[in-house]
Structure 1
Amino acid sequence: MLTGLRAHGRHGVYDFERAQGQDFVVDVVLELDLGPAARSDDVADTVHYGELAGRLVAVLTGEPVNLIETLADRLLTVCLADQRVDRATVTVHKPQAPIPHDFGNVAVTMSRTREGRS
């Protein structure tokens, strides 16, 4: 599990969101067999969360999209690029969403298995 990964992106429907950008926060849960890593005590036998974080930040700071649903889908693709991952769940938080009311959070959560969406 990787939670609270924060990066500045330019995603959103409105022009000012693209121009100014805002912070996005991502939580990721990966499901995979951790037995090989537990037995070997070698990071090569599991998902290296530092490297995964770098790839996720590249998506967050990369090509803008309108919807956080699209962003979550792209992040899922990154997570499932590692063939050891059977299922990934990604939550994208948009804490500075342009809503004219007090709110705690705007977020979407999407999950996908290696075989497809769920």
Structure 2
Amino acid sequence: MKVESSYIYIKNLRLHSFHGVLPQERLTGNDYILNLRVKYPVGSALISDRVEDTLNYATMCDMITVEMEKPSALIENAAYRICKRLFKDMPKIESVDISITKINPPMEADCDGAGIELHLINDKTI
């Protein structure tokens, strides 16, 4: 059997962070939902059943939390920093799909949130 592609994901990670252009956003913060899908070769883990042979979800969550704690004017910047950190610290990652949704954006609209989605490829794995 051959694995064609494999992904590890974190779904609907809830965070409170202080991103935003408006001073009030930097003061009170906002709630965010983050989704992450990481293309990663999990073939070794399928056979070994050892966490050392895959990506550790807890470690990824810790990295995300650290980057989300650094205020940015734009969540685009926060998403980029998260991906850059993942690529640096986990070099076997091939690509990352990330979405960050600001739950209560400061605009006059009745919506469930506004945000960013990125698909980034690790240049070192191409």
Matched, 1:106 2:114: yes
Stretches of structure 2 that go unaligned for 5 or more consecutive residues are: 1-8
Percent sequence identity over matched residues? Answer: 23
1:64-99 Cα offsets, whole Å, 9 max, x none, are 111111111011112212011111111011011101
Which is higher, the Rg of structure 1 or of structure 2?
A: 2
User: Following TM superposition, where does structure 1 have runs of at least 4 consecutive aligned residues deviating by more than 4 angstroms?
Assistant: none
Alignment correspondent of 1:41: 49
Structural mapping, 1:15-54, within 5 Å? 15-54=23-62
Task: Indicate the RMSD between aligned Cα atoms, in angstroms.
Answer: 1.2
Per the normalisation by structure 1, the TM-score is: 0.92
SS at match of 1:107: strand
Per the normalisation by structure 2, the TM-score is: 0.86
Matched, 1:58 2:66: yes
Give the length in aligned residue pairs. 115
SS at match of 2:120: strand
Stretches of structure 1 that go unaligned for 5 or more consecutive residues are: none
Distance in 2, matches of 1:79 and 1:6, equals 19
Shift of residue 58, structure 1, vs aligned partner: 1.1
